[in-house]
Amino acid sequence: MNYTLHQLLVFLKVVETCSITKAAEELHLTQPAVSIQLKNFQDQFEIPLTEVLGRKIQITEFGYEIAKLVKPILDQINSIEEKTLAFKGQLTGKLRISVVSTGKYVMPYFLGDFMKLHKGVDLVMDVTNKSKVLESLENNEVDFALLSILPKDMNLEYMDLLDNDLYLVGDKKSTLEIRNYSEDIFKDLPLIFREKGSGTRQTMERFIEGSKINIQKKMELTSNEAVKQAVLAGLGYSIMPLIGIKNELQSGQLKIIPVNGLPITTKWRLVWLKGKKHMPVPNAFLDFLNTEKCRILDTFFADLV
């Protein structure tokens, strides 16, 4: 037997993702490179680790047993690297953040320079829907979450990062003129909503309910990107966060329809459980944001603030 650490890493990632394609993406390798490493690892066993059923790779019972042994080996290797960096005086450890889907346009800019400064920090950032973000936060599975609307039933601390402005948006072929409309305009528009539970959906519904508008036609889609593509295709209008559509506005593919009462402004907030005792890496990230937040806003969000 002559396993390499690279083979162990590739095999474990294939087991975790049940996909050569996804493993390749997460490891920043090509699919052929992953397939070759997997084959070289498999060739050292007489019992199959994986099998292909249809077009999908499946992990055998033996494969799962081997993966259980591989994981602590790789964990120990990571510990060696972390100890080495620690003895050199560098910050080491994990930073775990859960981000609502639209937050993907925000959070990376607040992380970039921090990750460059601290090479020993591993970032685990999950971009998902609001309910899963709140679940991971409540279960103390993450250090921080990025939200635009805070839940009322959770005891949280937070740091404001950026204003979140939401406008009524249509595609470039919209016949609506660029002038101020009353809220009555919504009665005749086909509106596109995010799924229930989304922060954008909640903000949109509060505005509509507060204006006592009776919506006639509406669609529901499960991501901000899907809503944006639907608006671009001329399927309807939506109230959308400016942060996610600024490129399309600049290129003229989308246009803002001015309406009384808009924009709606919420805050992008980095939140954590009240009283949480942060480890050194999350503490260092908070210190970094306290020092660098204004510079980051000026550098990347000057056209939004």
Provide the 3-class DSSP secondary structure of residue 89. Answer: coil
* Nearest-angstrom CA–CA distance, 103 and 200: 11
| Positions of the chain with pLDDT under 70 | 82, 85-89, 216-217, 305
Tokens, residue 128: 């998902």
Cis? peptide before 263, omega within 30° of 0: yes
Query: How far is the C-alpha of 265 from the C-alpha of 88, rounded, in Å?
Result: 45
**Mean pLDDT across the chain:** 88
Q: Quick one: DSSP state of residue 17?
A: H
pLDDT at residue 210, rounded to an integer:
77
What domains sit in the chain, N to C, each tagged with a CATH number?
5-87 (1.10.10.10), 92-162+268-300 (3.40.190.10), 164-266 (3.40.190.10)
Please tell me the predicted confidence (pLDDT) of residue 217.
65
Sequence-separated (6 or more) residues with CB below 8 Å from residue 180: 258, 259, 260
Residue type, 116: K
CA distances from 299 to 105, 109, 229, 294, 296 (A): 14, 9, 28, 9, 5
What is residue 88's predicted lDDT score, i.e. its pLDDT? Answer: 64
Q: What are the pLDDT digits (tens) for 70-90?
A: 999 888 887 777 677 666 667
The radius of gyration computed from the CA coordinates of the chain, to the nearest angstrom, equals 24
Report how far residue 115's alpha carbon sits from residue 107's, in angstroms, rounded to the nearest whole number: 12
Tell me the percentage of the chain whose pLDDT exceeds 70: 95
Q: Own/partner pairs for 210-216, CB < 8 Å, 24+ apart?
A: 211/183, 211/186, 211/261, 213/183, 213/184, 213/186, 213/187, 214/187, 215/186, 215/187, 215/191, 216/187, 216/188
Q: Name the β-bridge partners of 168.
A: 239
pLDDT value of residue 302: 87
